[in-house]
Amino acid sequence: MKKRIILLLIFIPVLTVYAWGQEEKRKFLSLEAGIDGIGCAAPDKEYIRAVNDQNFDYYSDQIKSLMTINYIGLKFEYRVINNLFGLSAGLRYSRMITSIGRDSYLSSGPEYFYVNYNQSDLITEYAKVCEINQNGDYIGIPLEVRLYPKKERRIKLYYKAGVSFNLKVHSKSDISFFNESMLQYQADVIKVIENPSPNFTTFHIGLGLKIGKSDKPGISIETYTPIGVRFPKGSYLVKPLAGSGVQLLLSVPLNTIEQ
């Protein structure tokens, strides 16, 4: 995976330099919206002591964790090298939602697990927790390369690769307790949990389907695989493994096409 990420980081700036002197025939402004769904490893946290699950014996010694990234933004794209490649950059707002204690996005996980929120030589206190949730809001810069077919069609398939750099602007943590009487200890429990990461970087490759003429506004649907999500060391609640994403683009041409 590390080799693919390095090659991707090298490929984008090299192509940009090469294309700088080429004739840029087409320019587009795009509104983007998308979502990434990423499965994560079972958390290995010192403050999570045990789990109780009456219904799922197989998962009785594990607590699942999940991550979603929802985003919206604007991108500016140049078509270069006979309009075969599109180089794009923009500004993106993302919300990263992470969870410990949920098996899937549609169902809950174990009935509860224990969080050690206060420990000293004389006392150890636990909370029965159903789920730990964190929301992080980020401003990011996506950089992408798209490879388009040489022949123009009203509907055409293309390839993409990209990277996104994101910086946190706001975050919030929330605890879902097994007993409502524990709500008074929410601030104490949150103190032992890591803060949402101050930044993160994603890398992805995928396919897109563009609908519409090149000289008219068009819609693109893209599906892709995040090949890497990177956080500063020790600053993440969950450890991402693998997932998939989908993106919708509404593109408007900013100049005419030479006939």
Joined tokens for residue 84: 């075969």
130 vs 242: CA distance, rounded Å: 24
230 is a domain residue: yes
Number of domains in the chain: 1
> What is the pLDDT averaged over residues 68-89?
92
170 is a domain residue: yes
Query: What would the DSSP string read from start to end of 6-54?
Result: HHHHHHHHHHHHHHTTS---EEEEEEEEEEEEEEEPPP--TTEEEEE-S
Q: Say if residue 206's pLDDT is above 50.
A: yes
234 is a domain residue: yes
Q: What's the pLDDT score for residue 230?
A: 87
Query: Which range of residues forms the domain containing residue 204?
Result: 2-44+64-106+135-175+196-253
The most confident of the ranges 70-74, 79-83, 146-150, 196-200 is 70-74
189 is a domain residue: no
Backbone angles phi, psi at 247, to 5 degrees: -135, 140
95 is a domain residue: yes
pTM, two decimals, is 0.80
Share of the chain above pLDDT 90, in %: 33
Among 9-23, 147-161, 185-199, whose mean pLDDT is lowest?
9-23
Tokens 């009935």 identify what position?
111
Q: What's the pLDDT score for residue 116?
A: 86
pLDDT, tens digit, for every residue of 234-259? 777 888 888 889 999 999 998 765 54
222 is a domain residue: yes
pLDDT, tens digit, for every residue of 83-94? 889 999 999 999
Cβ neighbors of 143 (< 8 A, separation 6 or more) are: 12, 88, 89, 162, 163, 164, 165
Tokens 């490879």 identify what position?
147
58 is a domain residue: no
Residue 229 near residue 40 (C-beta atoms within 8 A): no
49 is a domain residue: no
> What is the pLDDT averaged over residues 156-173?
93
CATH (domain of 27): 2.40.160.20
Q: What's the pLDDT score for residue 249?
A: 94
Give the model's confidence band at 19: pLDDT under 50 very low, under 70 low, under 90 confident, else very high.
Answer: very low
